[in-house]
Copies of this chain bind each other. A is one copy, B any other.
């Protein structure tokens, strides 16, 4: 029975990784759709979010089924409860990429990102993508070193957000009134996206070590 259990845990990890791959693809496409006012790409992100939602649902059903059949206790039970939380985080990351794509679509054929802000948004997108890669390694290998590193990457994301807000304030009057509103939302989506990756890394750190990651 225990062997079956650990095989099933591996299936759950594989599904988490599949979600991570889709989420990374979504945030990269969403960023590109924002920077290039690419409606087709934005539409694809929005459509493909249903795939992420479907795996999320499937994953949760498998976890609940496993709990019911195997009656795990102690660390196995905690790993399954964490899996429920991790799939919720991944699903939410997909939603946030979706929100960014919807922002691109709303402003099309105009751009939500004026030229003076493209570098900052590109940097936020690149940081989100890097964090998602690292998160996937943490999921796959229970890599506690990288789990701790992600918190620093998240600090970099927060700094980019502060820089964006400061730049909006400095250049006020130069852009449309929609710009500060759009970019406040966009920066919030990237920041929350990154927070969920941190949250996943912290949950895996806890499962792997029995201790909370120091932040």
A: which residues have CB within 8 A of B? 60, 64, 67-68, 71, 73-74, 77-78, 81, 84-85, 88, 165, 168-169, 172-173, 177-178, 180-181, 184-185, 188
B169 and A180: CB pair below 8 A?
Answer: no
A84: B residues at CB distance < 8 A? 81, 84-85
When all copies of this chain in the complex are counted, the total is: 2
Would you give the shortest CB distance from A195 to chain B, in whole angstroms? 10
Partner of A188, one of B71, B77, B165, B185: B185
User: Which among A71, A74, A169 has the highest number of chain B CB atoms within 10 Å?
Assistant: A71
Would you give the shortest CB distance from A102 to chain B, in whole angstroms? 14
14 more A-B residue pairs beyond the given contacts A71-B71, A84-B84, A177-B180, with a C-beta to C-beta distance below 8 A? A64-B77, A64-B78, A64-B81, A68-B74, A68-B77, A84-B85, A165-B181, A168-B177, A169-B177, A169-B178, A172-B177, A180-B180, A181-B181, A185-B188
A172: B residues at CB distance < 8 A? 177
User: Which among A64, A81, A181 has the highest number of chain B CB atoms within 10 Å?
Assistant: A181
A68: B residues at CB distance < 8 A? 73-74, 77
Would you give the shortest CB distance from A131 to chain B, in whole angstroms? 20
A185: B residues at CB distance < 8 A? 184, 188
Kindly state the separation between the CA atoms of A99 and B88 in the bound complex, as whole angstroms.
22
Would you give the shortest CB distance from A181 to chain B, in whole angstroms? 5
Kindly state the separation between the CA atoms of A169 and B177 in the bound complex, as whole angstroms.
6
Which 6 A-B pairs have CB atoms at the shortest separation, nearest pair first? Answer: A172-B177, A184-B184, A180-B180, A71-B71, A68-B73, A181-B184
Would you give the shortest CB distance from A121 to chain B, in whole angstroms? 15
